[in-house]
Structure 1
């Protein structure tokens, strides 16, 4: 324990002359009743009040000492604590093209992917996790972090239409690779969610997969969408009209990406299928991460203040009840 205002502790020295003054005062007090011989009272039993005579003064001294300690502001000490946790580094690469608004998954593909991914994030408290979004181009929504509260806040803001439309799978992988390539973790993973075929971007998906492989990054690919046709919403005035559109997922390319990087390809026709990815990731070797935790100072004056208040209260009660003087 340390004191923020340690100089106030010098006030404790003032208690010494106060104690001396009290002792001298007691010696110099004259008796209320003077008699010529006190031998007759030598064997008179003492009242319990005799033993309590100096208790109020002692309580006052303790209360004053505690008040001085409160003024000095006692605090717990700052501390750095090194600990090791098990975790892996993961980038979620999520397709936000307009086709992700199809409602073959409920409420739609994008929201279904977000819900399951958010559940995954909550279940991996020791992992560094980041988010990359892609459509016609790609950008990082959140870099790798263990602050999952911030991550989930940013996650909720993911929606279709925030970037140019299209499906640049290769760019999505490449962007995620740039966030993972310098990682010291033994296990580095990209989870790619998409519902289409690559039709935009300067980097092909297979080239991006080779780059990921060179950095020891494993890519899990997920094709989101049912087989056949899917209902797609079109806003018309103040209403929404639905039309069926064909589900076109380039499963061959997604499978090749996963195979190149020693990952797996999953076809997610429902939310429950997405969870299969997490079961596979749990089998990965986890790496130990050194984490330095910082503990802030905490004010600890409250207990001292409470003890001082109780001492004052007890002194007042004793003086005005058991040891009350009658004029």
Structure 2
């Protein structure tokens, strides 16, 4: 325990001296109503008798001591060492176009596999700011950069197929939007994890490598992940008129060349995942590649404890008042 205002403790010296003087046998002041006492019943001049006679004074002085300690603001000190954080700003750029309902990531759809592995990735990086941007025909910021990973996980869980309600795959626009949210970051490392199962076929930026060059100019790396099995795949689709789910077939339309070039331009890397296990390994690889250590620090917290002394002091003053008015009544 420590004190925020220790100089108040100097007042304890005269207060303690006054208590000792009262205990030694001060007789008190003021006239008392006295009666003749039979022989053998004379008052005892003992320590306990003196203490009883001066109980109100002792209570008052004890309350004063407690008040002085409360004024000194006793505090409980706790120290917590904060481990080094990784300190990377990451934008998870997730394709939510209808083809992400492909069933070639058994037992999950491409979308479910992407969300599960992203969730595992987030859990491994508690010191990073991470955001989520989804895209289909247009980009949509799902969650800005944040270190509140509990909230981030909730936003990730609420991501769904065709979330932008616009057909197509606007890879260039998605990269540009991610860059816009990262370019003012002061983190030592800024990256985009771009996950898609197709090729850029819509949007205002028809050539996604142009957006990649903009990212490179800001020192932002792009790790591109292609999530598609080899060959045709079954897909769950929703009928826009009835809302009923139905199965269809999609062809392998992953543009590996474009994604590889996007990664190369920014100094990142391209990976292709054809199943859930490969996608997990890719995220683990990215996790190991992007770490920036910061020095650990010690957080010191001070918790005031003056109420532990103030409340007893008030109770003692109340007791002294009642004793003086009821038990130890003095004549004027």
Query: How high is the TM-score relative to the length of structure 1?
Result: 0.69
C-alpha deviation, 1:60, in angstroms: 5.5
C-alpha deviation, 1:56, in angstroms: 6.7
SS for the counterpart of 1:179 is: helix
CA separation in 1, counterparts of 2:225 and 2:195? 5
CA separation in 1, counterparts of 2:230 and 2:144? 34
**Cα pair distance change 1:239/1:280, threshold 3 Å:** closer
Contact 1:92–1:130, Cα closer than 8 Å, also in 2: yes
5+ residue gaps, structure 1, are 4-14, 77-82
SS for the counterpart of 1:141 is: strand
Matches within 5 A, 1:213-224: 213-224=216-227
CA separation in 2, counterparts of 1:50 and 1:294? 49
Q: Which residue of 2 aligns with 1:9?
A: none
User: RMSD over aligned Cα, in angstroms?
Assistant: 4.7
CA separation in 1, counterparts of 2:243 and 2:185? 49
CA separation in 2, counterparts of 1:280 and 1:37? 94
Match of residue 283, structure 1, among 289, 297, 303? 289
**Cα pair distance change 1:266/1:75, threshold 3 Å:** farther
**Cα pair distance change 1:35/1:124, threshold 3 Å:** same
Q: Deviations over 1:152-175 (max 9, x none)?
A: 332232222331121111111111
Q: Which residue of 2 aligns with 1:142?
A: 143
CA separation in 2, counterparts of 1:152 and 1:32? 86
Q: Which residue of 1 aligns with 2:132?
A: 131
Matches within 5 A, 1:1-327: 28-29=31-32, 30=34, 33=37, 46=46, 49-50=48-49, 53=52, 54=54, 58-59=58-59, 61-63=61-63, 86-105=86-105, 106-163=107-164, 164-203=166-205, 204-235=207-238, 240-275=245-280, 276-284=282-290, 286=292, 300=305, 302-304=307-309, 307-308=312-313
Contact 1:189–1:219, Cα closer than 8 Å, also in 2: yes
CA separation in 2, counterparts of 1:103 and 1:140? 26
Q: Deviations over 1:246-265 (max 9, x none)?
A: 23211221122112222111
Contact 1:135–1:167, Cα closer than 8 Å, also in 2: yes
5+ residue gaps, structure 2, are 6-14, 20-25, 76-81
C-alpha deviation, 1:197, in angstroms: 1.3
C-alpha deviation, 1:227, in angstroms: 2.3
Contact 1:186–1:285, Cα closer than 8 Å, also in 2: no
SS for the counterpart of 1:114 is: helix
197-206 vs 232-241, greater mean Cα deviation: 232-241
C-alpha deviation, 1:139, in angstroms: 2.6
C-alpha deviation, 1:96, in angstroms: 1.0
SS for the counterpart of 1:58 is: helix
Query: How high is the TM-score relative to the length of structure 2?
Result: 0.69
CA separation in 2, counterparts of 1:231 and 1:52? 93
CA separation in 2, counterparts of 1:272 and 1:279? 12
CA separation in 1, counterparts of 2:185 and 2:212? 17
**Cα pair distance change 1:294/1:209, threshold 3 Å:** farther
**Cα pair distance change 1:123/1:57, threshold 3 Å:** farther
CA separation in 2, counterparts of 1:123 and 1:56? 64
